[in-house]
Amino acid sequence: MLETIYFTRHGHRSDWIVPVLNNCYPTGLFYDPQLSPHGCNQAKELAQYFVNNTIQLDKIYSSPLFRTVQTANYVAEKLDLEILVENGLGEWEIPEPASTSKLREFFPRINTLYTSVSNHPKADETIQDVHDRLNKTMQEIISRCDAEGQIKSILLVGHAASVTAGVRAVLEDRLAVINCGTCSLSKFVKEGGKWKLKLNGDCSFLSGGEENNWAFD
């Protein structure tokens, strides 16, 4: 049975420091930037957190956007795990992302046989829709992990909106204040049949501390 759930947001984005240019990103999509050098360092520190604390994850799920898969890949490399691309963790209000096969050209650890819980969200999603999507996504992911029987600890890599809504879904509280800086870490542990939030956007392991926190309300 699943015992621990970690949520993290992607690292610092390259388009936060460099102007957006059409087709300048690896996937050729102008809305799909990679991590900045600083974001790569954040993702490396995130990966090292799991190593330093001898945490062995069983699965890593990622939104289909390049920056989230890139963040997930740093952890996957450190822990020798595959990456499961999950549309349910996708960004709010963006067009269709690159295909999983396209992403795998850059990240061979992607398991292209994985079946996502949901299709890519519609570009006109409301805040309510995002919460509904993440509620469904988390219920299904937890159910699948429990059905496998050997899965105890997972990491989900998303965006400010999807991470916030995902944490709220597990908390069963859509008004909860969730800290969501880049590469921050939230942690749930199951105790007495209930999910308990033990970390809320922790950034203590990041050399730059909390950065780019964004409230989704």
Count the residues in the chain: 217
More confident residue, 124 or 154: 154
Cα 41 to Cα 12, 15, 151, 203, distances in angstroms: 9, 16, 29, 13
Report pLDDT for 21. 59
pLDDT, tens digit (0-9, with 9 covering 90-100), for 98-134: 999 999 999 999 999 999 998 888 888 999 999 999 9
pLDDT, tens digit (0-9, with 9 covering 90-100), for 44-66: 999 999 999 999 999 999 999 99
Query: Residue 115, annotated ligand binder?
Result: no
Report pLDDT for 60. 98
Please give the DSSP secondary-structure letter assigned to residue 80: T
Q: Does 93 have pLDDT greater than 90?
A: no
* Mean pLDDT in residue range 22-35: 85
All residues at 6 or more sequence positions from 75 whose CB lies less than 8 Å from its CB, including other chains: 43, 46, 47, 50, 57, 60, 81, 155, 157
* Mean pLDDT in residue range 58-75: 98
Please give the DSSP secondary-structure letter assigned to residue 14: G
Task: Provide, rounded to the nearest whole percent, the portion of the chain with pLDDT above 70.
Answer: 98
Q: Are 98 and 127 in contact (CB under 8 A)?
A: no
* Mean pLDDT in residue range 61-73: 98
Q: Tokens 């050729």 sit at which residue? A: 28
pLDDT band at 23 (very low <50, low <70, confident <90, very high): low
Cα–Cα distance, 217 to 212 (Å, whole number):
16
Query: Residue 54, annotated ligand binder?
Result: no
Report pLDDT for 187. 98
Report pLDDT for 20. 63
> Bridge-partner residues for 191, per DSSP?
194
Query: Residue 27, annotated ligand binder?
Result: yes
pTM of the predicted structure, to 2 decimals:
0.96
Domains and CATH numbers, the chain: 4-202 (3.40.50.1240)
Amino acid sitting at position 39: G
Which tokens sit at 138? 């988390």
Report pLDDT for 123. 80
Task: Provide, rounded to the nearest whole percent, the portion of the chain with pLDDT above 90.
Answer: 86
